[in-house]
Chains A and B, each alone.
Chain A
């Protein structure tokens, strides 16, 4: 393992801003794994730190295939993590809306460019990422529907779901999208949480990545193959929206199977404690996403259900 500086800029009063990477092996650029890009992505940082620990062990045990280079970047944005701000500490811009970056541009464009220059020629790109709304997910692999996506490859992770996301205008500046445009097969990995560590889904994601790397001949890893992934389009999921604002109390958990008509959550009047809204499942399915904050606004998609096929 070699610790490398992927990108750095000088700080005024802070330590210099540094994006650190961990390289394993030499040769063909096989896979790059990227962790937190936003200051609240603690789980994403944790997942990558565990990947570094595991790969280090595998390297010592001779389990990394020679001629293949692996790069892990646990954190693209330590400045924001250390100040507990979600976005860039000065101008509140999001590095994951700056790709492919611009070396003569503003700070976060330069960071994106500097990082992308190092990570763009890998055969596979894997990013631990988070959703813009606070919530918990079923662990899954997500790909943008750019026309270049290969769902067969995504299923090799053996995670429960592969989600194809319809590209929106703002997606065109994300790392995942730009990796794909520049011919890296890109995957986003969603585990259950963002702001707190969830070891179970982190372990599941790590096994998924190692399964994938084993199938691609990058590492030797022998475990159970995981799940036979179900491929779902994000537009095919059924959203359950709140009718009222108030205190939110779910009665199910992420991953639960629910029947049509089953109670999913109550919303209480935040002053008088009365139930003002009851949410029920409009279809039989699996709870794929669930809002995780105790307050909710009305009209908010607090659940996303994967419809059961059988």
Chain B
């Protein structure tokens, strides 16, 4: 059943709505579990769109196997999705820096507060992101070290390739995930694929993972596929950042999730006007490339990739 989570009038003849679709078991028992699938906080990240669709499609094929509640929120920032805008259009604000919001605050704070209120109490929340338009990410879950104890065991069951436990940061306190995790509603932040595109294979992988999690929580009684064993990284030294040494056009030589030896070439930064190669980007360590630049134009400092070291056999 489609429900409106928050709504308000816009200045010129339009009603703004954030909606969710709730599907639930025909007979709900006491203590029934609820999973919430959330995406579209950043309007340019679309990978979660396919996940929402495919999850609904597969549940409907065997609706009798549903033993709990599934809430699907495909567009927390509908104006952003509709206008290819990462933040909230007109406000130029990153929606993922507004939580937990304020019911008596301005439009953006009010929306954030209504969203939190609606989702609070879920037994598990997946917040699906798609990197940004610049970088492609292998399906991964990112966990603030403050919440690792509760979240890592759940993430291990989610069929991602990689779990990245990262340090706490004051700025991240205003994210959707942090706001809910701090009040006891567990949120797994999924990053996969690239902005403005849909990678169907990653979407299918994630949907398999969601069914597996639903089965673990007792929300799904149907068959599920076994999940892959992810690589877990909880040491900041494991992750190596590759930033462009110079502005130019980045041409990659390697593929995503490739195992690389120290010194191996990852790509070149070229200068089309002069025909020169400005820099050769090489791997500083033995490792796996879990992030790679998708958008070719780079400034000095632009992120070209991220490597995970030490995890080779």
The interface of chain A, by Cβ under 8 A from chain B, is: 9-13, 86-87, 90-92, 97, 104-110, 132-133, 168-170, 172-173, 241, 244-247, 270-271, 295-301
Contacts and interface: CB of A to CB of B under 8 A. Distances in A.
Given A104-B241, A299-B110, 16 more contacts: A12-B299, A91-B132, A92-B86, A92-B87, A97-B171, A107-B300, A169-B171, A170-B174, A241-B106, A244-B9, A245-B9, A245-B10, A271-B13, A295-B11, A297-B10, A297-B106
B97 A104 contact: no
A169 B8 contact: no
A169 B174 contact: yes
A190 B170 CA distance: 26
Nearest to B86: A92
B247 A106 contact: no
Contacts, number: 92
A246 B11 CA distance: 4
A196 B272 CA distance: 38
Which of B10, B92, B173 is the most central at the interface, judged by chain A CB atoms within 10 Å of its CB?
A: B92
B272 to A, nearest CB: 9
Binding site secondary structure of chain A = loop
A299 B105 contact: yes
Contact of A132 (B92, B243, B246, B249): B92
B303 interface: yes
A305 to B, nearest CB: 16
A106 B243 contact: yes
8 contacts: A91-B302, A169-B173, A170-B171, A270-B11, A295-B12, A299-B8, A299-B110, A300-B107
A18 B226 CA distance: 54
> Which 5 residue pairs are nearest across A and B when measured between Cβ atoms?
A107-B301, A295-B11, A107-B299, A245-B11, A9-B300
A172 B169 CA distance: 10
B247 A11 contact: yes
A301 B106 contact: yes
B4 to A, nearest CB: 16
A90 B8 contact: no
Contact of B11 (A10, A87, A241, A247): A247
A87 B243 CA distance: 20
Interface string B257-300: 00000000000000101000000000000000000000001011
B134 interface: yes
Nearest to A10: B247
Contact of B171 (A86, A92, A172): A172
Contacts of B10: 245, 297
Given A9-B299, A11-B247, A270-B13, A86 B110 contact: no
A298 B241 CA distance: 43
B146 interface: no
A242 to B, nearest CB: 9
B300 A10 contact: yes
B6 to A, nearest CB: 11
Nearest to A91: B134
Contacts of A247: 11
B9 A107 contact: no
Interface in B102-156: 105-107, 110, 132, 134
Nearest to A297: B107
A132 B301 CA distance: 26
A31 B106 CA distance: 37
Contacts of A244: 9
Interface string B231-270: 0000000000101001111000000000000000000000
Contact of B97 (A91, A110, A170, A300): A170
Which of B106, B171, B297, B299 is the most central at the interface, judged by chain A CB atoms within 10 Å of its CB?
A: B299
B93 interface: yes
Contacts of A108: 301
Contact of B302 (A87, A90, A295, A299): A90
Interface in B61-105: 86-87, 90-93, 97, 105
A243 to B, nearest CB: 10
Interface in B207-241: 241
Given A169-B174, A170-B97, A172-B171, A107 B302 contact: yes
Contacts of B173: 169
Contacts of A270: 11-13
Given A106-B302, A106-B303, A10 B246 contact: yes
Contacts of B297: 12, 90
Given A295-B11, A297-B8, A90 B299 contact: yes
A240 B54 CA distance: 45
B177 to A, nearest CB: 14
B106 A299 contact: yes
B275 to A, nearest CB: 14
Nearest to A9: B300
Interface string B1-27: 000000011111100000000000000
A270 B11 CA distance: 7
